[in-house]
Amino acid sequence: MKDLIADRTPIVIAAEIKTIRHQAGCAIEIGRRLKEAKDLLPYG
């Protein structure tokens, strides 16, 4: 799924999380995207 959008930004990831949270049993996918978004942001 990571290859769907070339320029991944926290906004794109947030939109994916909003879509995924409406699906049952997707906590792992949400966690992966939260970690990805965290890795894109500067510390602090």
pLDDT tens digits for range 1-44: 555 556 889 889 888 888 877 775 677 777 888 899 999 989 87
Of 43, 42, 40, the C-alpha closest to 13 is 40
- The pLDDT score that the predictor gives to residue 25 is 61
Kindly list the distances between the CA atom of residue 27 and the CA atoms of 2, 3, 5, 8, 42, in Å, as whole numbers in the listed order: 16, 20, 21, 20, 24
- The pLDDT score that the predictor gives to residue 18 is 82
- The pLDDT score that the predictor gives to residue 37 is 92
Q: Domain boundaries in the chain? A: 10-40
Which tokens belong to 10? 């926290």
- The pLDDT score that the predictor gives to residue 5 is 58
